[in-house]
Amino acid sequence: MMEDGVEPNSVVYTSLIDGQFKKGNVDNALKYLSRMHDLGIRLDVAAYGAVISGLCDRGRLDRALEIKESMVKSGLAPDNMMFATLINAHFKVGNLRAALNDKEKANEISYTVLIDGMCKQGNLHEVENICREMSEAGFVLDKYVYTSWIAGLCKQGNVVEAFRLKKKMIQEGITPDLLTYSSLIFGLADKGLLIEAKQIFDDMLKRGITPDCAAYDILIKGYAKQNNTAAISCLHDGMRQRGLYRKGNKLL
């Protein structure tokens, strides 16, 4: 770099490290990190963030945690996105307890990541406790949190509680979106309650929310289990009108 007239600094190396991680070259990225140390270039929050994010994306959580400890020892504090990245990485390896430990420094973003991870793991009892903590800490439960929670409940077959949450989010001024409705439709269809599922689908349409292929597919699969070809045909008509096709221009 110096031969090209570019003075090596933290910004330059951060860009190089980030680029190597995106290419999947973890070893090269870590070599640049070592070179920074050898040259006495102090890493800033952005540089640490690039390294930790890159390591987490490549499944190197253990090394990412080591880098975080080095960062803290250097006098720098991890930022909000860094905590969110680490929490998400803990969930990917099934380390719920470590993810919960990191919530001590959580902000609204990291709480949301934490709740989403617990919902996907089906740990809904813990979700309720964390949501309570989140509210007591002054953070607002947003649409993403509610939708993740509702989706988790529906996957466990607890549609009654899911609809209670939907009512609560509306009371708090949060409008359910396509993902919220799709989760509810799935929960009902999975129980064979296709009449109720179609009613929710129709309510979604009345509220101006456009269904995607996934929403249609939930109902189609449900009707297929009941051999209701007439209902499936109507759904296919609706998909044609909206131009929803599979690859190869075939209807779902």
Question: pLDDT tens digit string along 176-217?
Answer: 999 999 999 999 999 999 999 999 999 999 999 999 999 999
What pLDDT sits at residue 180? Answer: 96
CA–CA separation, 63 and 67 (whole Å): 6
Instruction: Copy the structure tokens of residue 61.
Output: 């959580």
- Which regions of the chain are under pLDDT 50? 1-3, 247-252
Cα-Cα-Cα-Cα dihedral sign, residues 61, 62, 68, 74: negative
- Confidence at residue 105, expressed as pLDDT on a 0 to 100 scale: 56
DSSP reduced 3-state for 6 = coil
**How far from each other are the two terminal CA atoms of the chain, in whole angstroms?**
54
- Give CA separation, 51 vs 1, 55, 71, 98, 122, in Å: 20, 6, 11, 20, 30
Nearby residues of 65 by Cβ (< 8 Å), 6 or more positions away: 86
Per-residue pLDDT, 248: 42
Written in H, E and C, the secondary structure of 10-69 is: HHHHHHHHHHHHHCCCHHHHHHHHHHHHHHCCCCCHHHHHHHHHHHHHCCCHHHHHHHHH
Walk me through the domains of the chain, giving residue ranges and CATH numbers.
1-78 (1.25.40.10), 80-140 (no CATH), 154-252 (1.25.40.10)
Q: Write down the pTM of the prediction.
A: 0.67
